Structure 1
């Protein structure tokens, strides 16, 4: 007993050193701003999209759509909002940002001439005019696509990207359309002005007839008639140069769907010609809580690791209600560029050194809250407590009143080891604006073994800020069967929670390896149907695939509940490229862990 007491004291004494947060999660935990662009029936909502993240002098800066400022981080875990000294736009949409090591250049999307800003001290918020009025694009016209002549371009630049090459030359890329391509041209900043060094040149275009992931709709299921243009949008240009290769990236097929993804074309020159990468998409996450990852940016950390960011779909108040996601990425020696979205909205380790295997960044903390019983102190109408455990950001619990002391309690079904928690708030008839003085979030999360005696697991701390997707990594593991949210304040009109998510582990064994895995390539080469035997006790599955047997970089996360209770399960994957061979495998997971990956099989 003395030895046990001494060991306990030693562990407790070491707790402060272990309290430093080492994980992060998606959606990113920032104070998303209320949207004024699309207000339905007097209701507004928090949103964030189109992240342009750059590393500048060891810190990271995130610019995004409709933010009235930007965020700064030194560790890719904690982000602080920076209020700018000047913001001459109505607010920026889909901005371009680039750091040349000395200054950050910030350019908004525009349909008519506006200013371009720069800053050499972004941590202070001080912004200066680099270009007070950007000149119109050469050859800009309002003609329909079918009437345009060579050298003419549509109005813009919308969804721009900036890139400064190693030789000091600047380039701009832009485009957002289901008809027009992405454009690019060389530019020069001189004497407070921007000069075009050529007309806008088409860089790349979509081909959804061959690229399955570029097809519109949920799971790429929207169809269009013969002779009609595809409704798929290509947008959000971003340029990255690695190993002498130029990766011109784009988002497709639409921000308002689970299948929004990032792809790339590759060249050995900044203005091409560019070649479609057969291993596209680069970043893809159609399943899970934070679905979608299109229109973002690619940036390195301070250890040489890469990340790809993008836009995740919420879509309750409006199709363009969204959040920001960031995934670890990698450039292989053979040129393949891919981001890891496996367990992409579960806790992920932030590396302190160079990482070779992206799968090692998954913290291994399993989701304990899926479809668990929930009770609440009060409920408004049909917005029942159970909606806060279904892993769907478009369904939510609403309290009868937005008042301190309201509670939402989850029964985990047994005593579990809790390592982290995430509270995701929803906006139900909010009607608020970001500059209201009471837009902040305060609450406490409590744990209990018996549902009667409660201890604090985590709580919001000063300074006050809004936290629509608040994430807490516990300083040390906690044992609990019940987890309770205790309300303090939220700036929205209603207290509404889409998901109370609990991560950790349960006692027991990880699931067995899925067997009888087959992948059948459909007549349409863009599709394949994957079948496997159900695994007893599995909560969900990851279908994994890639164009190489040893590089299954794509993942579709599925819930066993949604697949049905049969002995044989299947999922159609509609994101393939015609003419490209693929390999598939399946892994199962539960609250204890993840199975080994199944046999890897070719799609036949």
Structure 2
């Protein structure tokens, strides 16, 4: 006990004497933004914090993040701290799924457009100031877009109005290209354009580039776990949307989101061509970004950018879906182009803390800190509770369940018992919105709290609190300057802008003493008659908290991950999970790794799915 007391004293001194912002080395998903309250799309008068369709662009040494239905945009110099910028002008109350591109001097912002949303394009040479001007005040119609009843009269081969969900590319020769569409009927389109004399000139006819083929590509099937069904159980066609083009090593990677944003299966894929308008070929290793399991679920409709060190990142839109089916957040996964052209983003442990690289990184999975989830299914208690919204919901790794305090007032507490003394490295506080009824510009929308810790549950010490300027933090992430050995972690409430104090998950990361799980064995991957599906089997690992199913089209490159917790898989000696995201006619390989609060097992033997 004396040794632990000394460690706690040292930890407290470090916390008191070292500003947290000076020590930040890590990030976590969803990324820690002051997500804006959605006032355009309320559900029975209830508003909620949300973020979707992220476009991140590096411009003049900084990173700029634009997203759907925010009243401005964000700027960062390190990809960890994001500062909100209120623009000088912001059309139509809020933009949707914008295309953003830098030509070196200017940052161009092209919102989604339709017949019901007036069209204009913004430009700035100093985005850090918020000063925006009009590059194009009134957009000309796309070829064939004639009136608001056009969709009813469209024939095969006609071009829908818009562009909705636009994407922009300035090629190496200075020519501009536009890509767009969001539909479960029409394809992604592309056309060459020119910005000239305050307008956009369309050069030639819009060209259909590709559409979805869910009968061949399992991951393109709509619904939860690619069920093909809406939430009400009705079948529906999947959506293709979110065009974004990255040119790398002479190839054009036309990325897209599918099959729909309101489920765990939302992912990013790519087609590849050696010409900006194709023909494009489907990449058999798709999807490139995929995260159907864990706390963060969904990874579709985003952007790809290169950081200052030459590392690539792919962003997307994970799903919350409590207040409205399209309630969402923002994720950012490290990505890589292999020497043979394969493009992939890692979702492995991407809702656990990750190191932010300070140099070029070859192994993107090496960014995982090794700090494990210590709070899963741990005992939780609260100072008060509203109705059925009990405290134990904050440790279930489900953002759609949450604790609600009886009153939104300072001093309310939420306490976790980690079960034993463990080394705590970081904490993530994830707020929920329960009957919020708020607006983005309300003056009291900010988050204040402090974290305390205790070895015995009686004597409490400071652990951490948010640093920097006062702002809202729907997914507040606090990295400790030094690990602290403790058993109990307590949230002490200060302020939140919503009508109620609601927390979906209080997530604690670090390491427990003990051994990592043994290497999983008995792995079998069996393809079904429908080759889009496979059943994976392996022997249960006694000490495992969860597992990663890692799979891909090469045995030495398992680029896809499906994370599962042990209690999702039953108590049998052999565990099974069905994968429904495979491409027909493509060979696959699979392996399993197990994890617990101490660390991660060795990867099992890699086997071919047969």
Give the conservation status (yes or no) of the 8 Å contact 2:229–2:235: no
**Any residues of structure 2 matched to 1:51-62 within 5 Å, and which?**
51-62=54-65
d(CA) in 2 for partners of 1:600, 1:88: 52
Q: What is aligned with 1:379?
A: 385
How much does 1:254 deviate? 0.5
How much does 1:299 deviate? 0.1
How much does 1:40 deviate? 1.8
Q: Where has structure 1 moved over 6 Å in runs of 4 or more?
A: 8-15
Q: What is aligned with 1:591?
A: 597
Q: Residue 360 of structure 1 aligns to a residue in which SS?
A: helix
Q: What is aligned with 2:502?
A: 496
2:23 is matched with which residue: 7, 20, 23? 20
How much does 1:143 deviate? 4.3
1:248 is matched with which residue: 247, 251, 254? 254
**Does residue 1:120 correspond to 2:125, yes or no?**
yes
How much does 1:155 deviate? 1.4
**Does residue 1:363 correspond to 2:369, yes or no?**
yes
Q: What is aligned with 2:104?
A: 101
How much does 1:463 deviate? 1.7
1:132 is matched with which residue: 114, 133, 137? 137
d(CA) in 2 for partners of 1:384, 1:263: 39
d(CA) in 2 for partners of 1:381, 1:233: 38
Q: Residue 359 of structure 1 aligns to a residue in which SS?
A: helix
Q: What is aligned with 1:65?
A: 68
How much does 1:215 deviate? 0.1
How much does 1:253 deviate? 0.4
Give the conservation status (yes or no) of the 8 Å contact 2:523–2:537: yes
1:296-342 Cα distance to aligned partner (Å, 9 max, x none)? 00000000000000001000011100000000000011110000000
**Does residue 1:30 correspond to 2:30, yes or no?**
no
* CA 1:192–1:285: 2 relative to 1, 3 Å: same
How much does 1:90 deviate? 2.5
Q: What is aligned with 1:84?
A: 87
d(CA) in 2 for partners of 1:525, 1:35: 41
Q: Residue 53 of structure 1 aligns to a residue in which SS?
A: strand
Q: What is aligned with 1:308?
A: 314
How much does 1:38 deviate? 2.1
Give the conservation status (yes or no) of the 8 Å contact 1:145–1:180: no
Q: What is aligned with 2:524?
A: 518
1:62-87 Cα distance to aligned partner (Å, 9 max, x none)? 00001010000000000000000111
How much does 1:348 deviate? 0.6
Q: What is aligned with 1:331?
A: 337
**Range moving further from structure 2, 202-211 or 109-118:** 109-118
Give the conservation status (yes or no) of the 8 Å contact 2:218–2:226: yes
Give the conservation status (yes or no) of the 8 Å contact 2:14–2:482: no
d(CA) in 2 for partners of 1:372, 1:90: 43
d(CA) in 1 for partners of 2:401, 2:333: 25
**Does residue 1:565 correspond to 2:542, yes or no?**
no
How much does 1:216 deviate? 0.5
Q: What is aligned with 2:155?
A: 148
Q: What is aligned with 1:421?
A: 427
**Any residues of structure 2 matched to 1:472-551 within 5 Å, and which?**
472-551=478-557
Give the conservation status (yes or no) of the 8 Å contact 1:82–1:124: yes
**Does residue 1:412 correspond to 2:439, yes or no?**
no
Give the conservation status (yes or no) of the 8 Å contact 1:145–1:179: no
d(CA) in 2 for partners of 1:187, 1:153: 16
d(CA) in 2 for partners of 1:82, 1:11: 35
Q: Residue 386 of structure 1 aligns to a residue in which SS?
A: helix
Give the conservation status (yes or no) of the 8 Å contact 1:179–1:229: no
d(CA) in 2 for partners of 1:413, 1:10: 20
Q: What is aligned with 2:609?
A: 603
Q: What is aligned with 1:210?
A: 216
Q: Residue 366 of structure 2 aligns to a residue in which SS?
A: helix
What is the TM-score with the length of structure 2 in the denominator? 0.95
d(CA) in 1 for partners of 2:169, 2:151: 29
d(CA) in 1 for partners of 2:517, 2:462: 32
Give the conservation status (yes or no) of the 8 Å contact 1:71–1:80: yes
How much does 1:579 deviate? 0.2
Number of aligned residue pairs: 596
**Does residue 1:285 correspond to 2:291, yes or no?**
yes
Give the conservation status (yes or no) of the 8 Å contact 2:11–2:483: no
Give the conservation status (yes or no) of the 8 Å contact 1:412–1:482: yes
Q: Which runs of 5+ in 2 are unaligned?
A: none
**Any residues of structure 2 matched to 1:258-269 within 5 Å, and which?**
258-269=264-275
* CA 1:167–1:216: 2 relative to 1, 3 Å: same
d(CA) in 2 for partners of 1:412, 1:171: 53
Q: What is aligned with 1:449?
A: 455
* CA 1:595–1:87: 2 relative to 1, 3 Å: same
**Any residues of structure 2 matched to 1:216-235 within 5 Å, and which?**
216-222=222-228, 230-235=236-241
d(CA) in 2 for partners of 1:52, 1:515: 41
* CA 1:214–1:72: 2 relative to 1, 3 Å: same
Q: What is aligned with 1:401?
A: 407
d(CA) in 1 for partners of 2:13, 2:447: 30
Give the conservation status (yes or no) of the 8 Å contact 1:314–1:323: yes
**Range moving further from structure 2, 18-27 or 440-449:** 18-27
